[in-house]
């Protein structure tokens, strides 16, 4: 009788254990899923300050070298920018170059200086040549002034080529690549200008003669009175 009772009770115990296990799983799994689903928002809250933070500063652009930099001025001459704060002595010796090229326009127009009188003279010369160029362009310059202007342009370019070529010959292998490239560019640019000068001179003279002829005809017709 007792064995029969135990045999009837055992399946119920197994069933109750299974139900209890299912209940535990039902209770635990939803909490685990909820925790898993809530994890991203918590991670997002932690990550938000980083995402909203100010962007990192952009890398600074390296400053240009403080030594010698070949540039082209309004007068068309290669010039140098020297700085007393340069960390090391620049290889180009301007004093020696001046001994080799004493009459080069570079010294008059573009050599580094802080002398206010020299700077004032350069400004006045630049203004004078710009005014003459305006007369050439407007066909109001005389033939003599036209030749004077383009002769000045020729000398400026020839002296710029001579100066840059001398620098490259004596110091080219000691110069930074960028500076060497600028001197080479200056030479090519001024050679191109020299090639164009004959045509520009003839064009200016032709415009001047045409303008003079039209003025003469206009005055001859009596409309100028």
Q: pLDDT truncated to tens, each residue of the chain (225 aa)?
A: 444 444 444 444 444 444 444 444 444 444 444 443 444 444 444 444 444 444 444 433 333 333 333 334 433 333 444 434 445 678 899 999 999 999 999 999 999 999 999 999 999 999 999 999 999 999 999 999 999 999 999 999 999 999 999 999 999 999 999 999 999 999 999 999 999 999 999 999 999 999 989 888 888 776 655
User: What is the C-alpha separation between 183 and 18, in angstroms, rounded?
Assistant: 92
C-beta of residue 77 within 8 angstroms of C-beta of residue 156 = yes
Which pLDDT score is estimated for 55? 42
Please identify which residue in the block is written with the tokens 């140098």. 80
Please identify which residue in the block is written with the tokens 């002398």. 115
C-beta of residue 66 within 8 angstroms of C-beta of residue 83 = yes
User: What is the C-alpha separation between 68 and 79, in angstroms, rounded?
Assistant: 9
């Amino acid at each position: 009788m007792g064995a029969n009772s135990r045999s009837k009770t055992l399946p119920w115990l197994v069933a109750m254990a299974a139900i209890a296990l299912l209940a535990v799983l039902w209770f635990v799994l939803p909490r685990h899923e909820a925790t898993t689903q809530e994890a991203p928002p918590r991670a997002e809250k932690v990550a938000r300050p980083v995402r909203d933070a100010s962007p990192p500063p952009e890398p600074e652009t390296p400053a240009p070298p403080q030594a010698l930099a070949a540039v082209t001025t309004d007068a068309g001459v290669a010039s140098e920018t020297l700085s007393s704060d340069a960390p090391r002595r620049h290889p180009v010796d301007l004093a020696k170059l001046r001994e080799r090229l004493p009459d080069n326009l570079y010294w008059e127009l573009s050599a580094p200086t802080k002398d206010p009188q020299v700077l004032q003279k350069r400004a006045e010369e630049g203004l004078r040549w710009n005014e003459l160029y305006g007369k050439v362009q407007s066909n109001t310059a005389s033939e003599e002034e036209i030749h004077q202007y383009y002769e000045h342009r020729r000398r400026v370019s020839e002296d710029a080529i001579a100066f840059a070529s001398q620098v490259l010959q004596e110091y080219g292998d000691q110069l930074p690549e960028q500076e060497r490239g600028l001197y080479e560019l200056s030479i090519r640019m001024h050679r191109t200008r020299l090639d164009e000068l004959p045509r520009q001179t003839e064009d200016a003279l032709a415009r001047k003669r045409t303008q003079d002829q039209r003025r003469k005809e206009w005055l001859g017709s009596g409309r100028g009175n």
